[in-house]
């Protein structure tokens, strides 16, 4: 089971949002590169980097910083946030990103998404963000009347090899993951799943690991690491 530290970047800083709200932001570091190196030094096997400004405005905004982070890392890095074109995906992979996360375009341009799944295979991850069970896009600001479970099945049929499932209402709250919804999602798809949102303790990780007959591949952890609620070395 991969334990993946999250590094969310807003205006060049490492931050955490609460429930996907840009108005509720907590800054943890002015130096995301230093943060990334720290998690790698502590044994992280992969990093999850999101350009929050990119997600919000629909274009990669902190790309020069993200590029520097990728080049500094000796471990795989998956990158998301505002990636809306074939060329952006290709550029990130050429820069050294191990995986590129697609979100909004999964809904807005299924033809492009299918082409990216076909051309880049395992290097593309489908990011499904859900608020109250419904798909949220465009930096979590627009909630569609599309059930996240149904959408996941559709995206798998389009050719996705892997899904990151995020529960926005739990994200940044330290309230614990929504185990029931994660279990439903796991039963709904046949491809590897990485979950995110609300993980607050080692006990939460243990509960997720205990899900039977599971295709759960990894757990993304953010605020709990930054607040010291989870010590990375103990979670690995």
**Half-sphere exposure for 210 (CA within 13 Å, toward CB):** 8
> Which residue in 51, 53, 129, 204 is the catalytic one?
129
- Per the CB < 8 A criterion, the answer to whether 101 and 80 are in contact is yes
d(CA 59, CA 49): 15
147 is catalytic: no
Tell me how far the alpha carbon of residue 133 is from its chain's centroid. Answer: 17
d(CA 147, CA 151): 6
In angstroms, the Cα distances linking 120 to 92, 110, 115 are 12, 15, 8
8 is catalytic: yes
The structure tokens listed for 70 are 């990728």
Question: Any idea which residues carry the catalytic annotation?
Answer: 8, 129
């Amino acid at each position: 089971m991969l334990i993946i530290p999250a590094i969310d970047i807003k205006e060049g800083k490492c931050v955490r949002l609460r429930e996907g709200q840009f108005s509720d932001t907590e800054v943890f570091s002015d130096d995301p590169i230093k943060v990334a190196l720290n998690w790698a030094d502590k044994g992280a096997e992969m990093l999850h980097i999101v350009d929050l400004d990119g997600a919000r405005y629909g274009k990669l905004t902190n790309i020069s910083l993200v590029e520097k982070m990728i080049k500094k890392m000796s471990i795989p890095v998956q990158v998301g946030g505002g990636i809306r074109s074939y060329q952006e995906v290709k550029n990130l992979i050429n820069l050294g990103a191990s995986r590129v996360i697609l979100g909004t375009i999964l809904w807005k341009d299924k033809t492009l998404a299918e082409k990216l799944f076909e051309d880049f295979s395992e290097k593309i991850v489908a990011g499904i963000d859900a608020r109250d069970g419904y798909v949220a896009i465009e930096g979590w600001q627009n909630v569609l009347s599309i059930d996240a479970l149904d959408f996941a099945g559709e995206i798998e049929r389009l050719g996705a090899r892997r899904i990151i499932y995020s529960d926005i209402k739990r994200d940044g709250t330290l309230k614990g993951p929504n185990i029931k919804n994660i279990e439903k999602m796991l039963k709904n798809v046949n491809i590897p799943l990485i979950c995110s949102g609300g993980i607050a303790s080692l006990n939460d990780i243990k509960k997720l690991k205990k899900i039977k007959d599971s295709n759960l591949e990894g757990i993304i952890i953010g605020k709990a690491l930054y607040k010291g609620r989870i010590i990375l070395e103990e979670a690995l």
